[in-house]
Chain A
Amino acid sequence: MTNSFGEFADAKMFLCIGTNMTEAHPVAATFLKNALRKGAKLVVVDPRRQPLAKLADIHCQINVGSDIAFLNGLMNVIITENLYDKEFVANRCDNFEAFKTKIMEYPVERAAEISGVKPETIREVARLLSTVKPAMLCYTLGITEHTTGKDNVMSTANLQLLLGNMGMPSAGVNPLRGQNNVQGACDMGALPNVFPGYQKVIDPAMREKFARAWNVEKLPENNGMMMPHMMEALPDRKIRAFYIFGENLANTEPDIHKVERELASAEFLVCQDIFPTETTRFAHVVFPAASWSEDDGTFSSSERRVNRVRKVKTPPGEAKPNWWIFKEIAKRMGHTWESNSSQEIWDNEVSVLAPALGGIKYSRIEEDGLQWPCPTLEHPGTAFLHRDGMFTHGKGVFNPVDWKAPAEIPDREYPFVLSTGRRLYQYHTRTQTGRSGMNFLMSEETADISPADAQKLGIQQDERIKVRSRRGEVEVRARVTEQVPPGMVWMSFHFREGSANWLTNAVYDPATMTAEYKACAVNLERL
C-alpha cells in the first residue's frame, strides 16, 4: 500500500476494485464503513454484488476480466472532459502523451461494451472522482489474479496519477495483502530476483555487499525461477530437489490434477510445516515447525508496518523454530551462522542489510510497529509514500496498457465464467481455521450462482450440482444468490473436496507468473 489503514477513517472517497474487503479484510472494511458514515463516497468495481458493493454510491458490475477496458474508458472520460489534475500530470508525471494516445482508443462506448457497465455510469464515476479529492484506490486479488494482472495494476496507478491522488494522506494505490506476512516475505527477499530490501541480485554491487555480509566468496548472478516454473520443472528433473516451507501447494495452486502430477514426480521433496497437509503426502522428508505464538519474530503488514509477534508457548514435541532448521541445514553444508534468535537475525542482519528497514529494531517496536521506509534510528516511519509527488524514479510514469480477454472464455461447452476468492469464515486451505471451530460457520464449499441461471437450469437452493471445467469437476451445493450475476459461478478454495482449484486454469501473467484464478470457463450440471 502506498498509504495506511489509519487514513481510511478520514478518507473522503474510495474506489474499490476487485476487493471483497468485508470478507477478506474485515477490520479494514470497518474503518471504510466508519468513513462512509461520516459522508465519504464509495465506488465499487466488481463483477459481484458483494457486501461492499451494497454500501456503494455507485457499483460498476463489470464483466470478469474487463478491468483495463473499464479503467481506460473511465480515464478517457476524465481526459476528454478535462477533469484530470493538470498541474500534477504536467509537473509530476512522465509519458502522458503516449498514454493519452492509448486512452483515446477506448472511447466510453467501447469500454461500456467490453465491461458491461453503461456509458452514463462510467461518466458519472469520472465526474465523481474529479470532484471529491483525494480518493483512496484499494484493490486485492481481483486485479492481480489475471493473465493481465500486471497491466491491471498499472492501470489503477495510471488512474491515480491522472487524478493527482498520490503523495498525500487518504489517497494512493492500496493493494490489501491476503496473508499476514506476504509483504514481509517479499521484503525479506523470498523472491528469485531480489535480496532483502528489494536489492537486485543481478547488480554486482549488491552481490558483493551480501557476499561480504554472509561471508561467502560469491553469490549466484542470474535471477532464479518463479514458483510455477519450479513446479513445471519437476517432472523432467530440471529441478531435482524442491523445498516447500509452509505452503499447501496441492490445494492452493490452479488445476490440482496438474499440481499433484508435478509434486508426485519430484525426485526429492522436503516439506516444513505445522500440520500434515495434502502437500506433505508427497514429501520425502517432513520437518515439524514451530507455529505462530511459538516463536518470537515480526510480520510486515500491507501498510508496510513491521509488527512484533511473540512467543507464549513451546512448540509441541520435537517441533523447532523455522530459522533454526535452516541454520542447521546450512551448518551441515559447511556454513556457520552466528545469529541465534529472531531478534539477532532482525537486529544484526535484516535491518543492517535492507536500507529501508535500517531504523527498525526490536527495541523500537515493543508496542506499535514502524512503517518502512524507516532508514535511521531517529526516523518515525512512513505512513504514505511519494510525498508531494516525489517518486522513487523522479516522476510518476504513465504506462499505456491494452485490454485483453482472459485466457479461457465461456463457449458453448463451458458457458459459465468461474471466478474464485476467499470467504469470511474460512482461510485458505483451512489448516488453521479448520482446527479452530470455524467449520460451525462454514462447513462445505458451495457454487454461488445467480437466481436467473438457477431458474434456467432448474437448480434449487442447496441442491448438489456438478461444476465441470476442462481440467476437472467437483460436486458441491448450489448457493443461489443475488450477489452473482447471470453467467457467473463463484467459489472458494477452502475445502479440498469441492475446491475451485480442481477447475481453475493454470495460465499466468507473463511478467508476474500470477495465475488466472479469477477467470475460467465451466459448465453446471444437475446430478
Chain B
Amino acid sequence: MKITINGKSCEGVEGQTVLEVARAGGFNIPTLCHLADLTPTGACRICVVEVDGMRNLVAACSTPAAEGMVIRTDSERVLSARRFIVELLVSCHPLDCMTCEKTGDCTLQNLAYELGVTGSRMEGDRYDYPVDSSNPFIVRDYNKCILCLKCVRVCNEIQGIEAIKTTQRGFDTKVATAYDNTLQDSTCVFCGQCVQACPVGALTEKKAKGLGRAWETRKVRTTCPYCGVGCQQELHVKGEQIVKVMAVEDGSPNKGRLCVKGRFGYDFIYSDERLTTPLIKENGSFREASWDEALDLVANKFKQIIAESGPDAIAGVSCARSINEDSYQMQKLFRAVIGTNNIDHCART
C-alpha cells in the first residue's frame, strides 16, 4: 500500500494505522493517549492530521491507512488544532513546572513549548484534589491528570490487575481505585506500570523526588536482580545515584513491563548497613581487618587444612544472585586451586 505524507510517498501494509505508517516513514506525530500494542482510543486528538477528501481532521492513531491517501501532518490547520487542544489541557493544568518532578520529561510541557502555548489565552476551572503520597513508591497528583487513560489501560490490559478505572463524568472524570481508596487499600500490586505510562506529572516515583532532572540522568540498561524472568531495566542515574528504574520498552523478555520489586526494590544497595570492610572474628566478636590480612588468613587456613586433611575437607556454596562471572570464578578456585569438587549453590534448596 502506498500513501503520501507531506508530499513523500510512504509504504504501508493493510491493517496499519496512519500513525504507524507515518512513524515508520520518519514523520513525527505527537501522541498523548497512544499505546503501541493496545487498541487505539483516539481520546486526546493531539495526533490529528489532514487527509485529502475528508472534511474533518482525523486522529492518526485510530485511522486505518488506505491506498492512495494524501496526508498532511504539519499544515497550519493541523498545527492550529493541536495548539487548541494543548491550550485546553493547559487551561486547567497547574503550571508548577518549576517544581514538578516530570519537568524535562513531560509530554504536555514539550507540546506546549513546541506549539508556542503559553497558558495565558484561556483561564479554566482548576481541580483541587488532595495529592496522595501515602505509600513509599507512587505519588498520585490528579490535579495534573490529562485523562489520557494510559494508566487505566496498562493496569487492565497489560498487567491484568484492574485496580483503577475512571469515575464520574465530564470535567469531574477522575481515575480512581474502587471506592477511591488509597492504592494500598485497593487491589493495586504496585508494579508501577501506570507511572511508566503517565505522560505528565500525575503519577511519579516517590523515591525519585528531588534526586535529579530528566536531562541530568544517564540511562543505563541492566537486568533485574530479583526473580528468574530476567526483566530488562533502564536505570536513570545521576552521578552514582539511581534516581529511578524504568522497564526497557521493547526489550526482551519483559517488553516494557516490571513488577513491584523490579521497579521499586533497587535502593538496598545504598543502605548504610552494607558491609564495607573485611571482618575477622576474635574472641567471639568481629574486628575490622585489611584485605591483605583477611585474604592471607583464609588462604593460609585453606593451605593448612589441605595439608592436614586433604582438599575434600573444604566445601563452598556459590551465589545464585550474583553474576555468572563470580560463580565461574568460585568453582575455578575450588576445582583448580583447592582441588575439590565440593562446590554447590542453592539451586537445589
B residues less than 8 Å from A514 (CB atoms): 348-349
B residues less than 8 Å from A29 (CB atoms): 160
Q: Which A residues from 196 to 254 make CB contacts under 8 A with B?
A: 196, 201, 210-211, 214-216, 219-220, 222-228, 230, 233, 237-247, 249, 252-254
Task: A191 to B301: give the CA distance in the assembly, Å.
Answer: 23
B314, chain A: closest CB distance, angstroms: 5
Q: Which A residues from 280 to 298 make CB contacts under 8 A with B?
A: 280, 283-289, 291-295, 297-298
Q: Does residue A143 face the partner (Cβ distance < 8 Å to B)? A: no
Are B269 and A182 in touch, CB under 8 angstroms? no
Chain B 148-160 interface mask (CB, 8 Å, partner A; 1/0): 0000000001111
Of the candidates B266, B298, B318, which one forms a contact with A185 in the assembled complex, judged by CB atoms under 8 Å apart? B318
Q: Does residue A377 face the partner (Cβ distance < 8 Å to B)? A: no
Q: Does residue B237 face the partner (Cβ distance < 8 Å to A)? A: yes
Of the candidates B275, B311, B322, which one forms a contact with A288 in the assembled complex, judged by CB atoms under 8 Å apart? B275
Q: Does residue B328 face the partner (Cβ distance < 8 Å to A)? A: yes
Are B278 and A225 in touch, CB under 8 angstroms? no
A residues less than 8 Å from B207 (CB atoms): 437
Q: Which A residues from 485 to 511 make CB contacts under 8 A with B?
A: none
Q: Does residue A448 face the partner (Cβ distance < 8 Å to B)? A: no
Nearest chain A residue, comparing its CB with the CB of B160: A33
Chain B 315-342 interface mask (CB, 8 Å, partner A; 1/0): 1111111111111111111111111111
Are A335 and B160 in touch, CB under 8 angstroms? no
- The total of chain B residues at the interface (CB under 8 A) is 110
Chain B 189-225 interface mask (CB, 8 Å, partner A; 1/0): 1110000000000000001000000000000111111
B residues less than 8 Å from A228 (CB atoms): 348-349
Known: A306-B324, A310-B221, A333-B299. A433 touches B268 (CB 8 A): yes
A16, chain B: closest CB distance, angstroms: 15
Task: A248 to B295: give the CA distance in the assembly, Å.
Answer: 21
A residues less than 8 Å from B220 (CB atoms): 310, 312
Q: Does residue B276 face the partner (Cβ distance < 8 Å to A)? A: yes
Of the candidates B221, B303, B317, B323, which one forms a contact with A298 in the assembled complex, judged by CB atoms under 8 Å apart? B323
Are A27 and B257 in touch, CB under 8 angstroms? yes
Q: Does residue A193 face the partner (Cβ distance < 8 Å to B)? A: yes
A-B contact count (CB 8 A): 450
Q: Which B residues from 242 to 270 make CB contacts under 8 A with A?
A: 242, 251-254, 257-262, 264-269
Q: Does residue B127 face the partner (Cβ distance < 8 Å to A)? A: no
Nearest chain B residue, comparing its CB with the CB of A286: B279
Are B237 and A312 in touch, CB under 8 angstroms? yes
Q: Does residue B235 face the partner (Cβ distance < 8 Å to A)? A: yes
A residues less than 8 Å from B76 (CB atoms): none
Q: Does residue B67 face the partner (Cβ distance < 8 Å to A)? A: no
Are B331 and A188 in touch, CB under 8 angstroms? yes
Of the candidates B157, B281, B344, which one forms a contact with A37 in the assembled complex, judged by CB atoms under 8 Å apart? B157
B residues less than 8 Å from A196 (CB atoms): 328, 331
Are B261 and A305 in touch, CB under 8 angstroms? no
Q: Does residue B31 face the partner (Cβ distance < 8 Å to A)? A: no
Are B267 and A436 in touch, CB under 8 angstroms? yes
Are A322 and B319 in touch, CB under 8 angstroms? yes
Are B295 and A177 in touch, CB under 8 angstroms? no
The chain B residues found within 8 Å of chain A, CB to CB, are: 135-137, 157-160, 184, 189-191, 207, 220-232, 235, 237, 240-242, 251-254, 257-262, 264-269, 271, 273-281, 286, 289, 291, 294-303, 305, 309, 311-349
Some 14 contacts from A to B, beta carbons below 8 A apart, are A30-B257, A182-B346, A189-B327, A214-B335, A220-B312, A224-B315, A224-B342, A300-B230, A309-B222, A312-B237, A312-B242, A322-B330, A424-B259, A427-B226
Supplied contacts A185-B327, A189-B328, A308-B223, 5 more A-B pairs, CB within 8 Å? A216-B336, A240-B313, A307-B223, A333-B299, A368-B251
